[in-house]
Structure 1
Amino acid sequence: MTDLPETPGTPGASQGVYGISVAAELSGVAVQSLRLYERHGLLSPTRSDGGTRLYSADDLARLRRISELLSAGVNLAGIARILDLQDDNAALLADKRATSGKAAKKTPSN
């Protein structure tokens, strides 16, 4: 979700590094809400070997989007559908870019 360049030694945007209390503080969302969102399938934080939830920068961006939609009056079922559609759209765009890049490489230049 985030387009930040990765610096050597820093975690990738999708790597879970924040515990639930840190993620709650960074996102401004209560810990119980984070658990609720996970139960509803809105978030899927990674888990440590011991079972601790680990949130990534991508998860924090998703939490911001969830908060925006809640503020707009969308219920959790609606948010789940919107996020699924946005995820599908992003995957289609990535596939299109990958396919377009391959087609451009195959096209002979004049």
Structure 2
Amino acid sequence: MIPHQPDPAAPSAGKKFDSDKFDDEHYPAYTMGRAAEMLGTTQGFLRSLDEHGLIQPERSSGGHRRYSRYQLRMAARVRELVNQGTPIDAACRIITLEDQLHEAQQRNSELQSSD
């Protein structure tokens, strides 16, 4: 029996497996189509979040938008607000302020724990 040899043409051949990407909520792992499907929305909705400045997705080498889990959570929250009747520009502003507040609270907790 011949031992299994990795296929040198395979995408992972010769590359180190980066398990940190599984845990990185900012890693742009999702295509626009997949992201829209996961959120139950349209690709146009995701493009509008980019236009409103809330989410700036990474771009693949081919120029396609790629979204992270963090960005998808923000988009899901905007979708909730829009479904409740909030205009999209106001929803984006609310999410931005919520995110800034959360970051400030985290920094404050870190500073208090380091004392």
Query: How does the TM-score come out when normalised to structure 2?
Result: 0.76
Distance 1:32 1:100 in 2: 43
2:110 to 98, 103, 107: 98
Indicate the percent of aligned positions where both proteins have the same amino acid: 28
Structure 1 unmatched runs, 5+: 1-6, 104-110
Aligned residues: 97
Higher relative contact order (CA 8 A, sep 6+): 1
Change (3 A) 1:44 1:9: closer
Displacement over 4 Å in runs of 4+: none
Q: Is the 1:11–1:17 Cα contact (8 Å) retained in structure 2?
A: no
Q: Does 1:44 align with 2:56?
A: yes
Equivalent residues in 2 for 1:60-79 (5 A)?
60-79=72-91
Equivalent residues in 2 for 1:8-47 (5 A)?
8=20, 10-47=22-59
Q: Which has the larger radius of gyration?
A: 2
Distance 1:67 1:28 in 2: 9
